[in-house]
Structure formats: structure tokens, C-alpha cells
Structure 1
């Protein structure tokens, strides 16, 4: 049920991205990352933007909090770390595998019922250990297995067929699409298939930021608030113990954040301030400092964001430069309107 009728879908065209981060080595610009950034104020209005924030794009796994809200709206009873895992792009650590098994057990199904792709664990260190142990790729190890287990659980609770649960016409995926449109406030521009096999919905960067702001500002006990509370309480289940998104949520009180492949990140605070980032070439080394700069633009204390300001560029094993957000994102020289 829509809270209000969604507006027209964002335009389908090539995005007009602009420079958002630079690789500066020895005070010389060695490379430039293009992308787009939006910052929303507490009133939900755009406080700052760079690039093309209303064109349709694929948010990839940054949409998982919205998918989790759709499942909770449909009756998914998970809480705490298991609900966080339902919105996760996990690292494949043992706690992630154990949690996914618990969801499958509650659903009365097994790993064989999952229809995500098989893969090795996402975290490089976990993956290396997995390979040394001679363990094969599996659906359980793939980073979206928690979401897929929750999808099966939701289907079982509603009497929906388990077979074909990834079909865009399946009742589960229709419910997800409706929630995407409700929370973003716009019609879905295009539907394709994500890397894990689930339907993927094209939205705008503004719409993605608005959706996460809706989730973080929802009343206690609502599906939105339940998802936000679970993810914030268990950031290591949303990603992994060594991942930047978990560290960012631990560093900024009340922050909800989710990354996605191809350089996407969205983050929101309990008062509705939100940011969304898309890096054109998909580079994580640009995603992290640009997200940090956008959060500073939104009013987050820059001291909390120092660890995320940009990875060093090395020369002879020592730092000789860094990946830096562009000057226009600097909240000191360009005061935010939020």
C-alpha cells in the first residue's frame, strides 16, 4: 500500500557524472573518479548535489534495507542480528553462515532451496582461508545468502510458492517493487537481474537517499524502524568485521549505511539527513572518501570521519598522496545548506 502515489520514474539515459574524487600523488593529480552525490536535509529536500542525481541507475546491494522492509511488511518476524543479515552483503564469516542457517531452519527449508548463485566468501582473508581448507563455492557462502534465506522464509509465511521466488512476477518480488516505489517516491524505471539472481530495480540517487531517510525516521516498531534498529545494532552482520561500512556505522552515532557494488553507498541519520553516492567506475577507493565528505556536508562531525577520508597512495612503501574528495564537497569552504 503506497503512502502516496509515486511520481513518474526517473529518466533512462546516460548519466552526466562529474569529478567527485581525485588521486593526488606528490601534489599532482594522477587520476580522477567521476560520479554523482546527493545530500538531503532533515526536511527531505536536497541540500547539496553534484552530478546527475535524478537519472535512473541500479543501486545494487545498497537497496537491501528497502528489500528487508518489504519482507518485514509481508510478515517476516526476524529481529536483531538475523534481520540485519537479511539486509546484508556479508563477508562469509562463520557467524554469517551460521545466521543464514538459522533463518533457513526457521523457514523449514535448506540450503538446496536457495536460488542465489554459488560463490566463495566476499572477504579476501576469509576467502583465502576457505580455499586453503579446500571448501568449494556454495550458495551459503555467497554474500547475499541471508537475504535469500529471508525471502524463502517470507514466502513460506505467506503461502507463496518457493519455486520461482526470484521471478519479478512472483508475489514476493511484486511486494518488494511496491515498497521500492513507496519509499523512493518514484516509479521503478527498469527491472533487471542483480549479481545474486534477485530482481534489481532502477531508481534515482535522490530516491535512494529518500528511501533510507524514510527508514531511519520511521516510528518505533514499524517495519522500517525494525530494519534500521537491527542494522545499526549489528553492523558486523550487515557487512563484516573488517569492512568500511561496519566501521562507519560504529563511528557515527545513529548512522545507518549500506554499500553496493559498482561504487554505490547510501547513509542516513535518525533526523532524516541522508546522503547517496554513485562512483561511475565503481571504485571503492573513491566511494569511501566521497561518502565521508558527503556526510560532513550533511553536518556530521568531520573528526568522526577522519578514518574514511581517503586511502593513501604509496611510493616506495610510504604514503606520497591520497584519494581525496573534490574541493566542492568540502563543508568548510562550501557551507552546507542543511
Structure 2
């Protein structure tokens, strides 16, 4: 099978244990293919944790879950130097923290203080951790999925806009469709039955090797972006910075536009989306399919927009409507 067939099989296997959240599954795979990190926002119980656990069960990868709390320290996630004494001699050895894994679930990341958030984001950006003057590289396959609860904000430490920019995509997870609710109950009921002794069905399957993900990334990198599509991406980004040139209402809604990381991210995710659709070139439709997730957390809206209950998705809808395809 090709790398794309393997990734589609991974997607199908994840869909077996996650009902009604097909868009979240696809966006997680796009983040994996584009080698970026995900910020996922949604109410409790919408399969955010289940999704990354399902990814880890079907991929030959180690998963670490970090529950962020107000008393967490940076060393709790990065690791620290520990003193060992043996044979009358003592030495400090680095004890790895939970960040030394392939898939990281940073649960309720906005519940930890700024120092811990900064340590996580530095590891995401640099792909390494420095402790005691020694640099320790992280795994080549390294994906952070940070979750936030959009409702309960008391006692939290919201991520600053500059730090949110480090995430490749911001996913909003909503309630599943009515038709999927019964399937969710049936799935939960089936999982109540204890499995017989021995390997589970998931364990018996052959796990997807990490090399397949690296091969897929190489193929994504080779996807062609025409000058016209490149101009379209630039026009979308530029419209967030000088919105008055596009639409007067956009000028009232946008306070700060998208950074260069936004254009880089949109290019990468659009290429991954095109590859997943079995194309070796990017179309404007690929850009439009992923622009909400790439721009959503990078736009800073004005007071007027908040007062009018205008959210980032509404602003992006207007951008797509007003910016012409080159």
C-alpha cells in the first residue's frame, strides 16, 4: 500500500472508536502530516482525549498525557536533574519528563501558570529541552495536542495571542449530529463488555510505523503550489492586515491581522489537504477548506466585533467571500 492508503486506513480505524467527530479526526491527521501542533477547544466529553488516544493506539508511537494544574512546575513536564549516589560516588542524571514522547496531550493547558505554558511552547518550537546547560532533543515524531475548556474560565491563565500563534491549527469541537448520538451510546455500551484475556483487537492489528508518516510528509512537501494559489494565500493574509482595502466591516472587526506564521501554516496545511485528496497540486478549495483552523487563533478582533458578538469564524467567512481567487 502507498503512504496515503496507510494514512486513510489510520483515519478509518480512528473513526471506529470516535463517532460524530470526523472533522476533528481529519484535522488531527492534517496536523500530523504538516508537522504542526494543535490547539483544541471544546466542551468536556466531546472525544478530544479519546481522539489522540485512538491515534496512539493505531500508530507506533508513545503517548503522554499531562493534566495541567495551577501548581504544575516547568520541571514537571520537561524533566530535571536528579542526584544519584552509587558506590560512594554521586552524580546528577537527567530524568526525562513526559514531553519525551511522540504524542503529547496537554489537557486544559490554560489551567497552568505562564512559566509552564512557556516551557511547553518552547519545546514545541525548538523541538528540544535544555536543562542544566545540556540540550536534549525531542522525538522526531512530536505532536502536541493542547485542549481548552471554552466555558469555565475562573482560575485559568489564558494563552497570550503571541503564544497561541505557535500552534499550527485551532480546532473548535462541537456537539455531534443527532444521528450520531445513538451510535455513541451503542459504542459505549459495547465497550462495557470486558474483552477476553489476551491482546485486544487494536493490539492484534499491525500498528502504523512512524516511517510511513515521514514518507507521507515527504510526499506532502512535494505537492505543487501554483503562483496563482500562492497569490491567493498572500491575498487572504494581507486582507487581515489591511482590511479596509477589502471591506469596511472587516476593518471594524479586525484589530490585529495574521502573522507570517499564518501564511506558512496555510501553505503547509493546504498541501496536506490536497495530498489527502490524492492530488499533487493545491487548489483554492484546499486553501478555503483549512483557512478557518489556521487563521482562527491568529486574528485579534476589535471591541466592536466582540460587542456585536462577531467571532473569528464569521470574520474568516467574510474574508473568503471578499478576497477574489487569483
Higher relative contact order (CA 8 A, sep 6+): 1
Tell me which structure has the larger Cα radius of gyration: 2
Q: Which has the higher helix share?
A: 2
**Taking structure 2 as the reference length, what is the TM-score of the superposition?**
0.28
**Taking structure 1 as the reference length, what is the TM-score of the superposition?**
0.27
